[in-house]
C-alpha cells in the first residue's frame, strides 16, 4: 500500500484551518461601542461608569502604554438568529467575542481586559486566546456591559532581549499602541466546536505516534473519512456526522501500562515581571474570574493557585470575586496551594524571611479558608536552597513541587519523583512534572513528552500536569478542558485525569513510598545573574530583613518590660511588603524598571516605619537620662555590649594607618595588614598564628571588570564566557591615608569608585567600604580576594546554616556551578586556618582554585559580584550611586564568620539621653546556637516566641534563659503550634526568669514559645 500519510496530514491541517476553525461561529453582528480613557492609573468601576464616553469603532487606535480604556458595549442578539419558538437553534450559544488588537506575542504579555456588568460586578477576563464571554449576553438576549481594557505594552514576550523604553512609564510614550479589531455578538456552534476538539486530539496524537504505528494509520484514515463526511459548505449541518466517524477512534482506551497525568488547572501569575505589581492585581482578578466561569461550564474542572498575597488582593480590591472564590474553595474545586506569601526566590531571602513566607502564607489560608496547605509550590523560582526542606517541614508542609530544574543548561536531574534532603537531614517528598512546563495547553506533544520523559518509570506511574496560560495570567481555557475529556483514556496516549495537588501527591507517595534521595541544594544551572542584578533592591531587602529583626526584638522587650503596646499590625504590614518583594522576579532583579522604582520606594517606607518602631521601643526601654548606650541587636556580644542588649560601652575604635615605604600598615595587635601604593592589600597576617591570609604575589581587594553579554536572558544570566575578558582595576586616581582609613579613588569608563580600607581595634576584620558611581552597561564588577588556603570546597551561608560547594571542576555538576549564592559570608579553610569574606548586600560569588605563585600548592580565590548592568528588561539597571561594605575576616572559624556576618549587617546603634542599660531579653550560653528572631506570638496572646538554630553544623547542647517570668516553655512549629519536643530536654520557670536546656542536631531550627 502506498504511504499517503504526509499528504493526509496536510489535508487534515488545511481542513481544520479553513473549514472547522472558521465555522465555530455561524453568524456575527457588531455591537455599539463607546470608550473613555482613564487618566493616569486604573480607577474603580464607579469612577469609570461616571466617565464621559465617546464612540469608537473597529479600526480605531486605542490605549497609551500602561493606560486603561473603558469600553461601553451595548446591543442584542439579532432576532434573525432565533427560531419560530424564539429560542436560539439547538446546539448554539450566543456570546460576545472581543479582539482588542492582539499581537503575535504570548497571552498575558499584551493587552487584556475585564468585563463588568452594569452593577459593577466583575464577570470574566478577556485575553488573546480566551476572548468569548457568554455571560455578557443576558437571558433576554440583551447586551450591556463595560470592558476595562488594559493597554499593557508587550515588553518582550518574544524574548529577543532588545532594550526597550516601555518598561518605565516615564519613557514608554503616550501614543495609542493597539488597534481595535472587533467587539461582536456571535452565534457559537457547539457541535462544530466539539468536532474541532475531536479532530485536534486525534491529529495531535497521530503526530506523536511512530510512522509505522497501526494506530497512527487508523487515525489518519478516520480523519480523512471525517473530511469526506463533513460538507465544507455546510459544516454546521454535517458536524454531527463527522463526529460519528471519529467516535470509535476516541473510544479506544489507553494501554494498561500507560502513564497517568494528574491534570491540575493552573495559572502561574508572576506577582511582577514585565508589568508592575499594580497590574498583577488586575491580572489575578481577570484570571480568577475566568476560572470561576469555566467551573460553571465544566463540573470536573479543578484549579490550583498559590500566593496568599494574590488572594489578599482579591479580598481587598475585588470582594465580590473573593466571596465566589471562597465558595469554590469550600467545594474543593478552587485549591489554594503553596503555603507561602508569594512564590518567592529561595536563594536570597534571609533565614527568618524564608520562615515568614510560610508563617504569613499558611496563616492567611488558615484564617480565610480553614486550610492548612500541605505543599510547597514553586514552579518557576531560580534554584532552591538546601535549607528549604527543613523550613517547609517545620511549617507543616509535606510535599514540594517545581519545574524549573528542567531549564538546566548542562546536567539533567536524574529523577522526577524523589525525596529531597536538606542540610540538616530533613527530607521532603518532591516532584518535578516531566511535562517540562507549568503552562501546558494539553497538547498531544506535551502529553507524549511527559510520558517519555518521566525518569522514574518502573517505580512510579503518575506525574502532575499543570495546565493553563501563565506568567502573565489567563489560566485554563475550555479548549484545554475539552482536550482532557478526550485524552482521559485514549489509545496511544497517557491517561489524563482532572485532579488536585493533594490527590496527586497522595497517589504518588502511596505507589512510590521509598524513592531515591537527592541531597543538598537544587542548584539551577541557569539564571545565575539574578544573584547580582538590581543592587539597590537587594540592598533594600537585606536592610529590611535586619530592621525587622530589630523592630521585633526591641518592641517585644518593651512590651514585656514596660507594658508598651506591641505594634503587631505595623510589623505585619512591613513583613508583607518585604515578603512580596522577595517574589522571584523582583528580588532577583529580572523585572522592568517600574517594578524596581516601586520596590525602592517601598523599602524606604518600610525603613521609616521600622526605624520609628525601633526608636520608640528603645526609648521605652532605656528611659530618659544622661547616659549614652550602645545597642546591639545581633546574637553575639561585641565590644562590651551584650547580645540582644544595650550598655554604656565605648564605641569601637579604629587603628590608624602607618606609613610603610610606598604603602601603609594597619596593625591592631590581632591582624597586621599591608596596603600598597595602588591601594591594594598585599598582606593580612593573623599575628597569633603567623599565617598570611593573602596569597603570595596576588593582591586582595582587587576590583575586576568583565564584559557581561549573556547568550540570552540578560538580567537573569551570567554565562561562564564572561571570564574570557577581564580588566584588573589597579590604577588609582588617588591613594591616601585619611584619618583612620586608607582612601582609594579609581576611575574607569564613565564610572568612579571610592574605597575606604580600615581595621577596628581588636578586630580580625579588614573592612572595605565602597562608594560606587556606576555608569557602565553590559559590564560585571567583581571584587577578588586570593586566599592562601588549599581546599577543594568553600562554605557559604544560606538560611539557618551553611552549605559546602566544590571549588574544583571534576564533574559537569561542579563545572556548572561557576557562580553561586551566599548570604552574609563565605569561608575557605584548611583544618587549622580559615578566612571568611563578609558583606552587607552581596549575594553572587565565585570561588576558584589556582596554582600558588611560590612554594607549590594551590590558593583559593573568593570573588564577590558587586554590580552588573544588563539592558533587558530594564535598560537602566543599576545605573547610579551605590554604597556597600565588605570585610575580610582573617583566621576565621565558622562562628567567627557567622558573628562577623551579623556584625556587618547589624551595626551597633547609639541611644543618647538614656537612664539605664537594657538587659538582654534572652541569652544563650553557646555562641554556635544563634538566636534568629525574638517576637510576640502571632495569635496576640502576648507569649514570647524565640527562634534559634545551630550554626556550626555540629551537634550542640545549649541553655536559653529568658529574663522574664514564664508559666511554661514549649517547642512549636514555625506557625507557633505546639509540637512534640525535638530539642527541649528540660524547662525551668520562675517569677523573674525561665530557661530551657536544648540539644540540637547540626543546623536544626528550634522555635520556642514562652507563655508569660
Percent of the chain residues topping a pLDDT of 90:
97
List, in order, residues 6 or more apart from 732 with CB less than 8 Å away. 678, 679, 744, 745, 746
46 three-class SS: helix
At residue 854 the predicted structure's pLDDT band, cuts being 50, 70 and 90, is: confident
pLDDT of 651 > 80? The answer is: no
pLDDT for 157 equals 87
Q: If 0-12 CB within 10 Å is exposed, 13-18 middle and 19+ buried, where does residue 960 land?
A: buried
Residue where the block lists cell 507561602: 340
404 secondary structure, DSSP code:
G
List active site positions.
Answer: 380
Average of pLDDT values for 683-696? 98
pLDDT for 770 equals 98
Q: What is the grid cell recorded at 549? A: 529583626
**What's the rounded Cα separation, in Å, for the pair 799 and 972?**
19
Average of pLDDT values for 807-813? 98
pLDDT of 991 > 90? The answer is: no
863 three-class SS: strand
pLDDT of 929 > 70? The answer is: yes
Beta-bridge mates of residue 261: 463, 496
pLDDT in tens, 410-434: 999 999 999 999 999 999 999 999 9
pLDDT of 777 > 70? The answer is: yes
Average of pLDDT values for 983-989? 96
pLDDT of 992 > 80? The answer is: yes
- B/e letters for 838-877, b = 16+ CB within 10 Å, e = fewer, are bbbbbbbbbbbbeebeeeeebbbbbbbbbbbbbbbbbbbb
Average of pLDDT values for 885-902? 98
632 three-class SS: strand
- B/e letters for 406-421, b = 16+ CB within 10 Å, e = fewer, are bebeeeeeebbbbbbb
pLDDT of 1 > 70? The answer is: no
- B/e letters for 768-796, b = 16+ CB within 10 Å, e = fewer, are bbbebebbbbebbbbbbbbbbbebeebbb
pLDDT in tens, 171-219: 999 999 999 999 999 999 999 999 999 999 999 999 999 999 999 999 9
pLDDT for 156 equals 87
**What's the rounded Cα separation, in Å, for the pair 668 and 510?**
63
pLDDT of 589 > 70? The answer is: yes
pLDDT in tens, 79-122: 999 999 999 999 999 999 999 999 988 899 999 999 999 999 99
3-state secondary structure 605-631: HHHHHHHHHHHHHHHHHHCCCCEEEEE
Average of pLDDT values for 39-58? 97
pLDDT for 652 equals 79
Mean pLDDT across the chain, nearest whole number?
97
pLDDT in tens, 62-83: 999 999 999 999 999 999 999 9
Average of pLDDT values for 222-250? 98
pLDDT in tens, 702-749: 999 999 999 999 999 999 999 999 999 999 999 999 999 999 999 999
Amino acid at each position: 500500500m502506498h504511504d499517503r500519510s504526509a499528504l493526509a496530514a496536510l489535508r487534515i491541517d488545511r481542513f481544520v484551518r479553513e473549514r472547522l476553525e472558521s465555522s465555530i461561529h455561524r453568524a456575527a453582528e457588531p455591537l455599539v461601542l463607546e470608550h473613555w480613557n482613564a487618566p493616569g492609573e486604573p480607577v474603580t468601576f464607579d469612577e469609570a461608569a461616571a466617565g464621559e464616553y465617546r464612540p469608537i469603532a473597529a479600526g480605531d487606535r486605542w490605549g497609551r502604554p500602561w493606560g486603561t480604556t473603558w469600553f461601553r458595549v451595548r446591543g442584542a442578539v439579532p432576532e434573525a438568529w432565533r427560531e419560530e419558538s424564539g429560542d436560539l437553534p439547538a446546539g448554539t450559544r450566543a456570546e460576545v467575542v472581543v479582539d482588542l488588537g492582539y499581537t503575535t506575542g504570548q497571552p498575558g504579555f499584551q493587552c487584556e481586559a475585564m468585563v463588568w456588568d452594569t452593577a459593577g460586578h466583575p464577570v470574566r477576563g478577556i485575553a488573546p486566546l480566551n476572548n468569548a464571554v457568554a455571560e455578557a449576553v443576558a437571558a433576554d438576549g440583551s447586551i450591556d456591559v463595560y470592558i476595562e481594557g488594559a493597554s499593557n505594552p508587550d515588553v518582550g514576550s518574544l524574548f529577543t532581549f532588545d532594550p526597550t523604553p516601555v518598561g518605565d512609564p516615564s519613557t514608554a510614550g503616550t501614543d495609542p499602541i493597539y488597534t481595535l479589531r472587533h467587539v461582536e455578538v456571535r452565534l457559537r456552534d457547539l457541535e462544530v466546536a466539539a468536532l474541532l476538539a475531536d479532530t485536534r486530539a486525534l491529529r495531535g496524537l497521530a503526530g506523536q505516534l511512530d510512522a509505522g504505528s497501526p494506530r497512527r494509520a487508523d487515525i489518519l484514515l478516520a480523519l480523512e473519512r471525517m473530511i469526506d463526511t463533513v460538507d465544507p459548505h455546510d459544516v454546521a449541518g454535517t458536524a454531527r456526522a463527522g463526529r460519528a466517524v471519529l467516535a470509535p477512534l476516541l473510544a479506544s482506551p489507553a494501554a494498561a501500562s500507560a502513564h497517568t497525568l494528574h491534570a491540575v488547572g493552573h495559572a502561574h501569575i508572576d506577582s511582577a515581571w514585565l508589568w508592575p505589581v499594580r497590574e498583577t492585581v488586575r491580572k489575578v482578578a481577570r484570571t480568577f474570574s475566568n476560572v470561576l466561569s469555566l467551573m460553571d461550564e465544566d463540573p470536573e474542572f479543578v484549579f490550583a493557585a498559590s500566593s496568599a498575597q494574590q488572594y489578599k488582593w482579591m479580598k481587598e480590591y475585588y470582594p465580590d470575586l473573593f466571596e465566589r472564590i471562597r465558595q469554590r474553595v469550600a467545594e474543593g474545586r478552587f485549591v489554594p496551594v503553596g503555603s507561602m506569601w508569594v512564590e518567592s526566590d529561595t536563594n536570597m531571602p534571609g533565614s527568618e524571611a524564608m520562615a515568614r513566607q510560610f508563617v504569613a502564607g499558611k496563616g492567611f489560608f488558615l484564617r480565610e479558608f480553614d486550610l492548612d496547605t500541605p505543599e510547597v509550590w514553586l514552579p518557576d523560582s531560580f534554584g532552591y536552597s538546601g535549607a528549604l526542606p527543613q523550613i517547609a517541614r517545620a511549617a507543616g508542609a509535606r510535599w514540594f513541587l517545581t519545574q524549573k530544574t528542567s531549564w538546566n543548561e548542562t546536567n539533567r536531574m536524574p529523577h522526577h519523583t524523589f525525596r529531597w534532603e536538606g542540610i540538616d537531614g530533613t527530607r521532603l517528598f518532591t516532584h518535578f512534572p516531566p511535562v517540562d512546563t507549568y503552562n501546558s495547553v494539553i497538547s498531544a506533544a506535551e502529553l507524549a513528552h511527559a510520558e517519555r520523559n518521566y525518569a522514574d518509570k518502573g517505580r512510579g506511574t503518575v506525574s502532575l500536569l499543570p495546565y493553563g496560560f501563565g506568567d502573565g495570567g489567563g489560566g485554563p481555557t475550555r479548549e484545554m478542558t475539552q482536550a482532557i475529556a478526550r485524552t482521559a483514556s485514549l489509545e496511544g496516549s497517557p491517561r489524563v485525569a482532572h485532579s488536585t495537588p493533594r490527590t496527586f501527591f497522595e497517589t504518588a507517595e502511596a505507589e512510590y513510598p521509598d524513592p531515591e534521595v537527592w541531597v543538598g541544594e537544587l542548584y539551577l544551572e541557569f539564571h545565575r545573574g539574578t544573584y547580582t542584578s538590581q543592587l539597590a533592591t537587594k540592598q533594600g531587602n537585606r536592610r529590611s530583613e535586619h530592621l525587622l529583626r530589630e523592630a521585633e526584638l526591641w518592641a517585644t522587650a518593651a512590651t514585656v518590660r514596660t507594658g508598651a503596646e506591641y505594634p503587631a499590625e505595623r510589623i505585619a504590614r512591613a513583613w508583607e511588603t518585604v515578603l512580596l518583594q522577595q517574589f522571584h522576579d523582583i528580588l532577583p532583579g529580572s523585572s522592568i524598571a517600574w517594578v524596581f522604582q516601586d520596590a525602592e520606594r517601598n523599602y524606604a517606607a518600610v525603613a521609616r516605619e521600622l526605624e520609628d518602631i525601633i526608636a520608640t521601643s528603645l526609648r521605652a526601654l532605656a528611659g530618659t537620662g544622661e547616659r549614652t548606650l550602645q545597642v546591639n541587636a545581633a546574637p553575639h556580644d561585641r565590644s562590651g555590649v551584650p547580645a540582644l542588649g544595650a550598655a554604656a560601652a565605648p564605641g569601637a575604635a579604629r587603628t590608624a594607618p602607618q606609613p610603610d615605604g610606598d604603602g601603609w600598615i594597619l596593625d591592631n595587635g590581632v591582624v597586621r595588614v599591608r596596603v600598597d601604593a595602588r591601594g591594594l592589600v598585599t598582606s593580612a597576617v593573623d599575628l597569633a598564628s603567623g599565617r598570611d591570609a593573602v596569597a603570595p604575589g596576588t593582591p586582595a581587594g582587587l576590583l575586576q571588570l568583565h564584559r557581561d553579554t549573556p547568550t540570552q536572558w540578560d538580567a537573569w544570566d551570567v554565562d561562564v564566557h564572561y571570564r574570557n575578558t577581564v580588566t584588573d582595576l589597579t590604577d588609582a586616581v588617588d591613594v591616601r591615608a585619611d584619618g583612620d582609613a586608607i582612601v582609594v579613588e579609581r576611575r574607569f569608563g564613565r564610572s568612579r569608585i571610592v574605597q575606604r580600607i580600615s581595621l577596628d581595634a581588636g578586630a580580625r576584620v579588614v573592612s572595605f567600604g565602597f562608594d560606587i558611581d556606576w555608569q557602565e552597561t553590559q559590564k560585571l564588577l567583581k571584587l577578588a580576594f586570593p586566599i592562601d588556603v588549599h581546599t577543594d570546597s568553600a562554605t557559604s551561608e544560606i538560611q539557618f546554616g551553611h552549605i559546602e560547594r566544590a571549588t574544583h571542576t571534576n564533574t559537569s555538576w561542579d563545572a556548572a556551578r561557576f557562580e553561586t549564592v551566599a548570604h552574609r559570608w563565605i569561608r575557605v579553610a584548611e583544618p587549622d586556618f580559615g578566612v571568611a569574606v563578609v558583606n552587607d548586600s552581596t549575594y553572587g560569588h565565585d570561588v576558584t582554585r589556582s596554582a600558588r605563585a611560590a612554594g607549590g600548592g594551590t590558593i583559593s580565590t573568593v570573588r564577590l559580584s558587586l554590580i552588573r548592568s544588563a539592558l533587558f528588561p530594564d535598560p537602566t539597571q543599576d545605573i547610579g550611586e551605590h554604597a556597600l561594605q565588605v570585610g575580610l575576616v582573617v583566621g576565621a572559624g565558622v562562628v567567627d564568620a557567622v558573628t562577623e556576618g551579623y556584625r556587618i549587617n547589624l551595626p551597633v546603634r547609639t541611644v543618647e539621653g538614656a537612664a539605664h542599660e537594657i538587659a538582654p531579653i534572652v541569652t544563650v550560653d553557646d555562641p554556635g546556637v544563634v538566636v534568629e528572631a525574638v517576637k510576640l506570638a502571632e495569635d496576640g496572646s502576648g507569649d514570647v516566641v524565640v527562634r534559634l538554630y545551630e550554626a556550626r553544623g555540629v551537634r550542640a547542647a545549649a541553655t536559653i534563659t529568658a529574663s522574664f517570668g514564664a508559666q511554661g516553655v514549649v517547642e512549636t512549629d514555625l506557625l507557633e503550634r505546639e509540637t512534640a519536643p525535638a530539642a527541649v530536654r528540660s524547662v525551668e520557670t520562675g517569677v523573674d526568669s525561665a530557661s530551657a536546656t536544648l540539644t540540637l542536631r547540626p543546623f536544626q531550627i528550634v522555635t520556642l514559645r514562652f507563655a508569660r
